Amino acid sequence: MTIRVLLADDQALLRATFRMLIDSCDDMNVVAEAADGREAVELTRTHCPDLVLMDIRMPGIDGLAATTALCADPDLSGTRVLILTTFETDEYVARALRAGASGFLGKDVDADGLLSGIRTVASGDSLLSPLATRSLIARFLATPEPGAHLVPPERLAVLTAREREVMAMAAEGKSNAEIAGMLVLSPLTVRTHVQRAMAKLHARDRAQLVVIAYQSGLVQPTPPPPP
């Protein structure tokens, strides 16, 4: 199946570079390009792509507002948002994850990393940097937006003890393989636990599972190491 991608970035040269790279793959193609957030929302609603590659800093409506609008639209529940950013530990990335983005990539990503990231997110997995998840992003995820509400701990009552354990380890930035090694399970079993937790908590992907883990208090943010 071909992955349909929409590019949202105010830099025409970067969009052209990404389009050329993506269109060179047999399993993906670019269906539209947007130069700002407003256009990204309009074109996404028109084309319903599988994935939006979204820059955060754009003129007018930025990528954060666009991500919030797209992830709140029930007609776009099948569309994933992959954030492009210059700074992995930027608080805006955490805000985008809270809004429903499935992960992020640095703008300095190489060709293989970009294509792999698109495939990962399009498949339903999230793309989170373990370093960022364990430090600044963890702190920002644990703090809701002004006026927002934390996830009540009671919401986790639907999970089994094992599902909560796996969810907590995933929220700490560990991969399925790392979790499997620590719990003496197969990676497939870990993936099943993650998927069941997502289904029970109505999380659209692993990234949203991480948000719920922090905002429910299942995982406490780790203070960043001293400089």
Q: What is the DSSP string of 98-153?
A: HHT--EEEETT--HHHHHHHHHHHHTT--B--HHHHHTHHHHHHTSPPTT--PPPG
Q: pLDDT tens, 60-94?
A: 888 989 999 999 899 998 899 998 887 655 577 77
Give the sheet arrangement for strand 3-8, strand by strand: 28-34, 3-8, 51-55, 80-85, 103-106
Question: What's the pLDDT band for 176 if we cut at 50, 70, 90?
Answer: confident
Q: Which domains does the chain have, with CATH numbers?
A: 3-127 (3.40.50.2300), 145-215 (1.10.10.10)
Average pLDDT over residues 139-154: 66
Average pLDDT over residues 210-227: 75
Alpha carbon distance 29, 1 (integer Å): 11
Q: pLDDT tens, 14-60?
A: 999 999 999 999 999 999 999 999 999 999 999 999 999 999 888 88
Alpha carbon distance 83, 94 (integer Å): 10
Number of residues that make up the chain: 227
Token pair 């960043």 is at which residue? 224
